[in-house]
């Protein structure tokens, strides 16, 4: 059995071959995260899920019904909250597995949290749900974690490949990639492919996925800097008021 990690959770490649649309897939991935980290037995709410994945409660509720009706989860309601269990998924895979040769995620067979044995799993930091990303950004970011090399942190899937996996059109994937770059979560570099006849053409972007821990530390440092600057400004304002108050009295 895969030991739950305090730092993350594991996903089989097959989660991207279930034919789920963007919203239900993202909610499903978050439920997997909670279950993997031993929080799945707790009573959940649509508000908690919505905050983590960037969706409103009503939309989360709709996606939960979709997942339950399709047999991916079993839900037991407790008033405004619910508990859930994950159902086996191997019988729901719609496409044959096509693992790119550059993928270097864990390759030995693993017993996943549903009790099913998968050929391979890949780790995802649980902190991805703490980055305040929009729904589409979060899905693309998680998929790049699947594709990236363990040591290099790099990968080069096409927009079409990403879109087919996470239920997005090419332009939507492109927009979300640019947004992740702007937020300094990933780097994207142009590549060139040279043919045997000597001609060259533009290849897929080369993505470098930055460690989540590094991102969170940078954000924390920036937040502390802002607090210090705000406190310095308040002190300056108080000094100015104290200096000007005798003149006002005259």
Mean pLDDT within 51-56: 91
Q: Is 203 part of any domain?
A: no
- Give yes or no for a contact between 209 and 144, defined as CB atoms under 8 angstroms apart: yes
Q: Is 154 part of any domain?
A: yes
Question: Tens digit of pLDDT for each residue in 171-194?
Answer: 999 999 999 999 989 999 988 877
Q: Is 92 part of any domain?
A: yes
Q: Is 121 part of any domain?
A: yes
Helix 22-36 × helix 135-147 angle, to 10°: 60
Q: Is 209 part of any domain?
A: no
Q: Is the per-residue pLDDT at 199 higher than 80?
A: no
- Domain of 166 in residue numbering reads as 8-189
Question: Tens digit of pLDDT for each residue in 207-242?
Answer: 998 888 777 776 666 556 666 676 677 777 677 777
Give the whole-angstrom CA distance, residue 202 versus residue 197.
Answer: 15
User: What is the structure's pLDDT at 55?
Assistant: 92
- Give yes or no for a contact between 191 and 157, defined as CB atoms under 8 angstroms apart: no
Dmax of the chain from CA atoms? 88
Q: Is 50 part of any domain?
A: yes
- Give yes or no for a contact between 76 and 83, defined as CB atoms under 8 angstroms apart: yes
Q: Is 20 part of any domain?
A: yes
Q: Is 91 part of any domain?
A: yes
User: What is the structure's pLDDT at 193?
Assistant: 78
- What b-and-e string marks burial along 196-213, b requiring 16 or more CB atoms within 10 Å of the CB? eeeeeeeebbebebeebe
Question: Tens digit of pLDDT for each residue in 94-143?
Answer: 755 444 444 445 556 788 989 999 888 888 888 899 888 899 999 999 99
In this prediction, residue 150 has a pLDDT band, given cuts at 50, 70 and 90, of: low
Total number of domains constituting the chain: 1
Cα 45 → chain centroid: 20
What is the percentage of the chain residues whose pLDDT exceeds 70? 80
| pTM for the model | 0.78
- In 3-state terms, what secondary structure has residue 209? strand
């Amino acid at each position: 059995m895969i030991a739950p990690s305090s730092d993350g959770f594991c996903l089989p490649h097959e989660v991207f071959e279930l034919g789920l649309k963007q919203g239900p897939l993202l909610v499903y991935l978050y439920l997997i995260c909670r279950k993997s980290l031993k929080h799945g037995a707790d009573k959940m709410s649509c508000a908690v899920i919505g905050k983590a994945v960037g969706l409103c409660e009503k939309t989360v509720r709709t996606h939960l019904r979709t997942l339950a009706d399709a047999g991916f989860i079993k839900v037991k309601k407790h008033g405004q909250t619910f508990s859930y269990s994950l159902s086996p998924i191997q019988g729901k895979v719609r496409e044959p597995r096509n693992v790119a040769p550059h993928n270097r995620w864990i390759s030995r067979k693993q017993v996943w949290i549903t009790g099913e044995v998968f050929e391979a799993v890949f780790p995802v930091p649980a902190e991805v749900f703490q980055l305040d990303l929009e729904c589409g950004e979060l899905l693309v970011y998680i998929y790049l974690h699947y594709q990236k090399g363990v040591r290099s942190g790099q990968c080069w899937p096409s927009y079409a490949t990403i879109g087919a996996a996470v239920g997005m059109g090419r332009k939507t994937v492109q927009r979300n990639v640019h947004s992740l770059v702007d937020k300094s979560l990933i780097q994207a570099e142009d590549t060139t492919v040279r043919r045997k006849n000597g001609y060259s053409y533009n290849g897929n972007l080369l993505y470098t996925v930055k460690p989540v821990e590094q991102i969170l530390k940078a954000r924390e440092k920036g937040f502390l800097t802002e607090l210090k600057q705000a406190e310095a400004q308040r002190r300056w304002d108080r000094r100015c008021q104290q200096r000007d108050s005798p003149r006002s009295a005259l």
